Amino acid sequence: MTGTALQTDLVEEFRARILADPALILDDKDVMRTLVSASERGMGDNIVDLRGLAMERLEARLDRMEETHRAVIAAAYENLAGTNQIHRAILRMLDPEQFEEFLSNLGTDVAQILIVDAIKLVLESPEASPDPALERISDVLCVVKPGFIEHYMSTPHGPTTRQVILRQAIPQSDVLYGAKTPDLRSEACMRLDLGADRMGGMLVMASDSPHMFKPGQGTDLLCFFAGIFERSMRRWLA
């Protein structure tokens, strides 16, 4: 078989494959771009190729759609990971059968699951003074004067009724975190409803990463976590 005949056979075979499966060409943007460019050169410089312009716009739209698609998938995976993390923390939080163990577990296992550097349960009381009976769990429980939570959860625009506040500027006070305060860079504050005739409560989580909690992040999972936590607290306080 001569070289010309062999080349002809290869061309016919390639043509047959394309006719049988056009996606081989259509799905390859580089090949399509080369074919369109060759077509434009063949038409000369005085011809406006509306089809080529349309294809360029379609390619740009396709690129944007693919980028959006990847972003949506990444966000979905991140949300799923966050949901699983909150669920594991809740299950671990519900394990203890004694209140002291509940608080101790909060500051150790639950904190590790949530990957935070500090967790504090803040309760308001008219008699906010050191209690020897609570010294052994004072690293988690913090008793403060009435009005402290409202002031602490205030935004630069004033008091807020939001259940969850995320921020990257932690108040420079050692009331909650003590010596850890200078190392912490972001914080989540969750307002707790502990039931009728009981004073306010607040659960705070802090991290040394400024990106762990920041305004603009979704708070649905933290609201859910706070709802489970306050129901557990009502059971302990009953």
pLDDT tens for each residue of 16-27: 877 777 777 777
**CATH number of the domain that residue 118 is part of:** 3.30.450.40
Average pLDDT over the chain reads 80
Q: Report the domain count for the chain.
A: 1
Work out the pLDDT band at 65, boundaries 50, 70, 90: confident
Of residues 32 and 182, more confidence is placed in 182
Q: pTM for the full model?
A: 0.66
pLDDT of residue 125: 82
Q: Is residue 43 part of a domain?
A: no
CA angle, 103 then 197 then 137, to 5°: 15
Q: Smallest Cα–Cα separation from 208: which of 237, 238, 228, 186?
A: 186
Of residues 233 and 196, more confidence is placed in 233
User: Are 82 and 221 within 8 A, CB to CB?
Assistant: yes
pLDDT digits (tens, 9 = 90+) for 146-204: 888 898 888 777 777 889 999 998 877 778 888 888 899 999 999 998 887 788 899 99
What's 11's DSSP letter? H
pLDDT of residue 71: 72
pLDDT of residue 75: 66
Q: Is residue 193 part of a domain?
A: yes
What's 154's DSSP letter? -
User: Are 164 and 141 within 8 A, CB to CB?
Assistant: no
Work out the pLDDT band at 53, boundaries 50, 70, 90: low
Question: Residue 223: which domain range?
Answer: 98-237
Work out the pLDDT band at 136, boundaries 50, 70, 90: low
Label each residue of 191-222 as H, E or C: EECCCCCCCCEEEEEEECCCCCCCCCCCCHHH
Q: Is residue 159 part of a domain?
A: yes
Q: Is residue 186 part of a domain?
A: yes
User: Are 138 and 132 within 8 A, CB to CB?
Assistant: no
Tokens read off for 22: 């056009």
pLDDT of residue 40: 61
pLDDT digits (tens, 9 = 90+) for 82-123: 788 899 999 999 888 888 888 888 988 999 999 999 999 998
User: Are 124 and 192 within 8 A, CB to CB?
Assistant: no
The answer for 205, left when phi > 0, alpha when psi is -120 to 50, beta otherwise, is beta
Q: Is residue 211 part of a domain?
A: yes
